[in-house]
A = this chain, B = another copy of it.
């Protein structure tokens, strides 16, 4: 999916919401556990309920991998369902992969060719030759971790060399990598001041912003600092939507939670004259 197509969807739906699929068997409604593939059934219902209000889905790969072969099977079914029933949705494999050359290409093949995700999250620690193999896949996007929303982000991501924090160095260096026009960046919603700096450094890039909701980030602050002319934001919410209710009303509750965020987003898109 191209960025142009993504922007079209954002305008059409007046939403830059990404729904995170962090499917925990301990948290999904109990009545699903008797089904043959509860992970898929839960995802399918959540997708059907929230699709009108969002433009992207982000399965968290760890939650599938944790269930071994069965989990991998569920993941295949989820992405297949998305690609077949909702081809207009942007799909992100949140896998935070990162390895060199040949190995990186294998990961890219797994997520881009085999599973046909639009995008994959990638860690920058190993540098250029660990990211460029992902960027070589032309119809796909690589979402590089820049500044994450967790407390441990402060351990290394702010490491300062000549007054430049590491997260900015990552973003600046990445601009020169081959295929960098297909890069997006993870920037946590809990770091508003940094979001401003990042936006001035890369005015046109798309940012994937986790941390709104359960992690305490504010959608209004993110929108105020992060929106650019073509939107340029995907704001993710996982737990706040998919676990909005834990009983049989979970689909309705998820739709409601997604709609609340979408309304707020529509307001911002109109205020910034994007729609």
Contacts and interface: CB of A to CB of B under 8 A. Distances in A.
A110 B152 contact: no
A191 interface: no
Given A73-B69, A103-B63, A125 B125 contact: yes
A196 interface: no
Contacts of A127: 150-157
A188 to B, nearest CB: 10
A145 to B, nearest CB: 6
A166 B159 contact: yes
B148 A126 contact: yes
A100 B22 CA distance: 12
Contacts of A30: none
A95 to B, nearest CB: 9
Given A155-B173, A159-B159, A150 B106 contact: no
A169 B159 contact: yes
A272 interface: no
A150 B153 CA distance: 24
B126 A153 contact: yes
A41 interface: no
Given A100-B152, A125-B125, A127-B152, A65 B159 contact: no
Contact of A96 (B73, B98, B115, B153): B98
A225 interface: no
Given A125-B123, A126-B145, A106 B152 contact: no
Contact of A62 (B63, B67, B94, B103): B103
Interface in A65-113: 65-69, 71-73, 76, 94, 96-104, 106-107, 109-110
B130 A156 contact: no
B69 A98 contact: no
Contact of A107 (B66, B152, B156): B66
A60 interface: yes
A156 B166 contact: yes
A3 interface: no
The 5 closest A-B pairs by CB, nearest first: A127-B152, A127-B155, A62-B106, A66-B106, A129-B152
Given A100-B152, A126-B145, 11 more contacts: A24-B102, A62-B99, A68-B115, A96-B99, A126-B148, A127-B152, A127-B154, A159-B161, A159-B169, A161-B161, A166-B166
